[in-house]
Amino acid sequence: MNLTDPARELVVPELFERIVQKYPQRTAIKSKNRSVTFDALNKAANRIGRVILDALGPGNEPVGLLLGNGIDAVAALLGVLKTGKYYVAIDPSFPLPRIEYMLRDTEARLLVTDNKNRTIFDSVVAGEHCTGLEIDQIDNRVPDHNLGLTIPMNSNLNILYTSGSSAEPKGVVRTHEYIIEQSSNHIEYASVGPEDRLSLLHSISFGSAEANLYRSLLSGASLFPFDVKGDGVSQLVPWVIAEQITILHCSPSLFRQFVDCLPVDVRFPSLRLMHLSGSPIAESDFAQYRKHFSASTSLAFHMGATEAPCIGSAVVDHSFSFPSKGTPAGYNRGQKKVLLLDKEGKEVEAGAVGEIAVQSRYLAKEYWRHPELTKAKFLPVPDSPGERIYLTGDLGQFQPDGLLVHLGREDFMVKIRGYRVELGEVERALLQHSEVKEAAVVAWEREAGEPFLAAYLVLRGQPALPVDQVMAFLRQRLPDYMIPFRFSFLDSLPLINGKLNKRELPKPERIRPQMSRPYAPPESELQQSLAVIWTGVLAIDNVGICDSFFDLGGNSLLASLVLSRLSEQWQAEIPMQAFFERPTIADLAAFITEMKGAKANNLQVADLLTEIESLTDDQATHFLAAQTKSRTSST
């Protein structure tokens, strides 16, 4: 699908408004409790845009969005773009220092939020040169017709922050033409049309959210947000079926949790495309796809970067042959050229390994306020004005049929649960702790090629710190996906020629780390069962009943796996929120016991009511009197 107009190039708001004209009453977004048509979404965005213009005036400048991934977030995003400004999406789950840094770095004069995130909003706006706009309070009498502003194609569309090699995250500036090229590719290779129903499983601050977000808004397809952290992966399965999702887009990490929750006989009659991106897929992922999904569901995967849209992509079926080494990254698509370069920047010979580079005019504009980094990563093309070459830092190799195979990173950037993480940023956060003298962070792999972070610490005085204290310290500074899964304490870091020798770092062991509380063994059968489940999920022996699941390295995806296994073994459907509130074996076992007791009491009451209904009025009166007398005697 070509998103460019033959007469003149259209920017994202204009393309969206063209879709609104074609499908005004079609559902644009449907969340758990609300749904909006394209026409209603457009009017909401217009009202938000007018209030933003009243507050800031015209001009291409950044506007912060402190929202989740639902209807209001998308309306606010469109409202910002309609004003000719660009958005900085901020996940409300980010630590406050990270949110404050993003606002300071962009110098955004306005932060758009809602009543749900008002507390965070009040905390970060204080002291900043920034005012707030709570979209819940916008008057419905604000005019809702299109703003009709002229916006150049090369105008900034957003700044997306990624993990940076310095102490802070770095912003990547993308333009309208960047997003349109990316969306055009995603729509074309996935054959997206108005009848499709697309998932949105990530916050709009996460780059992978853009695939389904924009290909729905710019094609007329319907978008369905789902809160994985809040509702849990186990609820994702019935949700996909009930909402008749046709394209499910997620990271390989989330896919692995998803298939672990699948009942044996589950079928997805509407699902035509399972799309995996955000990190390399493993051969075991492809095996799970063939095992659990029929031939009517295709598998899509693509390689992209925040700096370069859709480097490669592919849609395959059960007959696809997985590469013998590396992971498939797809075929070259769109108006770009994928190159493999040697150390001197020259193209390698056919079949050789080289650094993956992208030559195109549709690349990110720059790194926000990092001109030297921009110059180093984006190279000019002398004989092709308007084009540049972006160096990804990834190694790759072309197969004879043109399939690009990803062979890993050249530097210290890794993908964790689909998020890009610069190991140096995690190390710098650890070094802020007063007791940490030296820190090193590396990525190891669990089963199915799933990577995890391990931290190695040298302390100033004591041999070890309670890991739960280190976790609490990092949660104030880093998103959860950047917090290490394992911690090891060493007398010194192994060096070679004055540099860290990562090959000499010991592989993390399964032993329980030192915690603030002493080890407390399981006492009941239920606690023992929970300990066995936790041991398997966390790969840690001797889990104590007072140890927090999240202090042992657990996250929301692993929590979903625990709840799924509990459901199978104990027929206990535990809400995800209940697990977050009771993250120890002792508390969770008590909750399950109370829940089962309440269920048993409800069943007894139901049986009693059934028995009474079968009696005459006189018989029922005598029966209840006898029950009351019996209870009085027993007390």
User: pLDDT tens for residues 294-314?
Assistant: 999 999 999 989 999 889 999
Tokens of 323: 């590469």
More confident residue, 419 or 19: 19
Q: Where are the domains of the chain?
A: 33-151, 175-318, 336-360+380-411, 413-504, 521-635
Q: Would you say 390 and 336 are in contact if contact means Cβ atoms under 8 Å apart?
A: no
33-151 folds as Rossmann fold (3.40.50)
Position 567 scores a pLDDT of: 83
pLDDT band for position 565 (cuts 50, 70, 90): confident
Q: What is the pLDDT of residue 600?
A: 56
The pLDDT tens digits of the residues spanning 201-217 come to 988 998 889 999 999 99
Tell me what pLDDT residue 605 has: 47
User: 336-360+380-411 adopts what CATH topology?
Assistant: Luciferase; domain 3 (2.30.38)
In 3-state terms, what secondary structure has residue 398? strand
Phi/psi zone of residue 535: left (φ > 0), alpha (ψ -120 to 50 degrees), beta? Answer: alpha
pLDDT digits (tens, 9 = 90+) for 162-216: 876 555 789 999 999 999 999 999 999 999 999 999 999 988 998 889 999 999 9
pLDDT at 448 over 70: no
Are the CB atoms for 512 and 546 separated by under 8 Å? Answer: no
**pLDDT-based confidence at residue 127 (cuts at 50, 70, 90):** low
- Compute the average pLDDT of residues 132-146: 95
Look up the CATH number of domain 521-635.
1.10.1200.10
Instruction: Give the model's pLDDT for residue 69.
Output: 86
Most confident of 203-212, 570-579, 580-589: 580-589
Q: Architecture of domain 175-318 in CATH? A: 3-Layer(aba) Sandwich (3.40)
Helix (H) or strand (E) holding 598: helix 585-613
Is there a common fold for 175-318 and 521-635? no
Residue 6 CB neighbours (<10 A): 6
Residue 625's pLDDT band, with cuts at 50, 70 and 90, is: low
CATH number, span 413-504: 3.30.300.30
The pLDDT assigned to 229 comes to 84
Residue 335 pLDDT grade (very low, low, confident, very high; cuts 50, 70, 90): confident
CA distance 388 to 382: 9
Tell me the pLDDT tens digit for each residue of 72-123.
999 999 999 999 999 999 999 898 989 999 999 999 999 999 999 989 988 8
Summarised one tens digit per residue, pLDDT across range 248-296 is 999 888 898 899 889 888 999 999 999 999 888 888 899 999 999 999 9
Q: Is the pLDDT of residue 632 over 80?
A: no
257-293: burial string, b at 16+ Cβ within 10 Å, e else:
bbbbbbeeeeebebbbbbbbbbbbbbebbbebbeebb
pLDDT at position 568 over 60: yes
Q: Residue 524 to residues 547, 549, 618: CA-CA distances in angstroms?
A: 16, 18, 47
pLDDT exceeds cutoff 90 at 385? no
Mean pLDDT score of the chain: 89
Q: Quick one: pLDDT at residue 501?
A: 82
How many angstroms separate the CA atoms of 116 and 363, rounded? Answer: 35
In tens, the pLDDT along 23-69 reads 999 999 999 889 999 999 999 999 999 999 999 999 999 999 999 88
